[in-house]
Amino acid sequence: MSAITRDEVSHLARLSRLALGDDELDHLAAQLDQIISAVARVQEVAAEDIPPTSHALPLTNVYRTDEARECLTPEQALAAAPATEGQRFRVPRILDEEA
Protein backbone atom coordinates (compact mmCIF):
# COMPACT_ATOMS: atom_id res chain seq x y z
CA MET A 1 0.00 0.00 0.00
CA SER A 2 1.23 3.49 -0.78
CA ALA A 3 2.36 5.69 2.07
CA ILE A 4 0.82 8.67 0.32
CA THR A 5 -1.83 8.79 -2.37
CA ARG A 6 -1.85 10.89 -5.51
CA ASP A 7 -4.91 12.74 -4.15
CA GLU A 8 -3.06 13.60 -0.97
CA VAL A 9 -0.14 14.97 -2.97
CA SER A 10 -2.58 17.03 -5.00
CA HIS A 11 -4.12 18.37 -1.78
CA LEU A 12 -0.71 19.25 -0.35
CA ALA A 13 0.25 20.93 -3.60
CA ARG A 14 -2.84 23.12 -3.39
CA LEU A 15 -2.09 24.01 0.25
CA SER A 16 1.46 24.88 -0.74
CA ARG A 17 0.26 26.97 -3.67
CA LEU A 18 2.09 24.78 -6.17
CA ALA A 19 0.45 24.41 -9.56
CA LEU A 20 1.38 20.84 -10.50
CA GLY A 21 0.42 19.20 -13.79
CA ASP A 22 -0.78 15.60 -14.03
CA ASP A 23 2.65 14.34 -15.05
CA GLU A 24 4.26 16.12 -12.13
CA LEU A 25 1.70 14.73 -9.72
CA ASP A 26 2.37 11.18 -10.91
CA HIS A 27 6.08 11.71 -10.69
CA LEU A 28 6.06 13.35 -7.25
CA ALA A 29 3.50 10.98 -5.75
CA ALA A 30 5.80 8.06 -6.54
CA GLN A 31 8.86 9.88 -5.21
CA LEU A 32 7.18 11.05 -2.03
CA ASP A 33 5.89 7.56 -1.44
CA GLN A 34 9.46 6.27 -1.50
CA ILE A 35 10.70 9.04 0.79
CA ILE A 36 7.95 8.52 3.34
CA SER A 37 8.45 4.77 3.28
CA ALA A 38 12.14 5.23 3.89
CA VAL A 39 11.60 7.64 6.77
CA ALA A 40 8.90 5.38 8.18
CA ARG A 41 11.56 2.79 8.90
CA VAL A 42 12.47 4.88 11.93
CA GLN A 43 9.20 3.77 13.46
CA GLU A 44 10.39 0.18 13.33
CA VAL A 45 12.98 0.90 15.99
CA ALA A 46 10.55 2.84 18.19
CA ALA A 47 9.84 0.49 21.06
CA GLU A 48 7.24 0.82 23.80
CA ASP A 49 9.77 2.34 26.16
CA ILE A 50 10.80 5.12 23.78
CA PRO A 51 8.44 8.08 24.11
CA PRO A 52 7.78 10.20 21.04
CA THR A 53 9.79 13.39 21.01
CA SER A 54 9.74 16.63 19.09
CA HIS A 55 13.03 18.00 20.36
CA ALA A 56 16.58 16.85 20.40
CA LEU A 57 17.35 18.81 23.58
CA PRO A 58 16.43 17.49 27.04
CA LEU A 59 15.36 20.97 28.11
CA THR A 60 12.16 22.66 29.26
CA ASN A 61 11.28 26.21 30.36
CA VAL A 62 13.77 28.30 28.45
CA TYR A 63 12.58 31.87 28.89
CA ARG A 64 14.00 35.32 28.50
CA THR A 65 13.38 38.43 30.57
CA ASP A 66 10.76 40.79 29.17
CA GLU A 67 13.00 43.62 28.00
CA ALA A 68 12.65 45.65 24.84
CA ARG A 69 15.73 45.66 22.67
CA GLU A 70 16.75 47.68 19.67
CA CYS A 71 14.98 46.80 16.42
CA LEU A 72 15.97 47.05 12.81
CA THR A 73 15.44 50.40 11.14
CA PRO A 74 12.55 50.38 8.65
CA GLU A 75 15.16 50.75 5.90
CA GLN A 76 16.93 47.61 7.08
CA ALA A 77 13.66 45.76 7.55
CA LEU A 78 12.47 46.60 4.06
CA ALA A 79 15.85 46.28 2.35
CA ALA A 80 15.23 42.82 0.91
CA ALA A 81 11.53 43.31 0.13
CA PRO A 82 10.66 42.85 -3.55
CA ALA A 83 8.34 45.86 -3.34
CA THR A 84 7.53 48.49 -0.72
CA GLU A 85 5.17 51.43 -0.39
CA GLY A 86 4.65 53.86 2.45
CA GLN A 87 7.23 52.06 4.62
CA ARG A 88 5.25 48.84 4.27
CA PHE A 89 5.85 45.57 2.49
CA ARG A 90 3.88 45.55 -0.73
CA VAL A 91 2.46 42.13 -1.55
CA PRO A 92 0.33 40.83 -4.42
CA ARG A 93 -3.39 40.85 -3.91
CA ILE A 94 -4.78 38.11 -1.75
CA LEU A 95 -7.67 36.39 -3.45
CA ASP A 96 -10.77 35.62 -1.38
CA GLU A 97 -8.82 34.50 1.61
CA GLU A 98 -8.58 35.75 5.09
CA ALA A 99 -6.57 34.26 7.87
Q: Does 15 bind other proteins (CB under 8 A)?
A: yes
Q: Which is nearer to other proteins, 13 or 25 (CB)?
A: 13
Distance separating alpha carbons of residues 21 and 32, to the nearest angstrom: 16
Nearer to other proteins, 19 or 94 (CB): 94
How far apart CA 78 and CA 87 sit, in angstroms, is 8
Stretch that binds other proteins, among 25-33, 34-42, 43-51, 58-66 (CB under 8 A): 58-66
The gap from C-alpha 2 to its chain's centroid, in whole angstroms, comes to 22
Position 51 contacts other proteins (CB under 8 A): no
Buried b vs exposed e over 49-69: b needs ≥16 C-beta within 10 Å? eeeeeeeeeeeeeeeeeeeee
User: What does the binding site for other proteins look like in residue numbers (CB under 8 A)?
Assistant: 11, 15-17, 54-55, 57, 59-74, 77-78, 85-94, 96-99
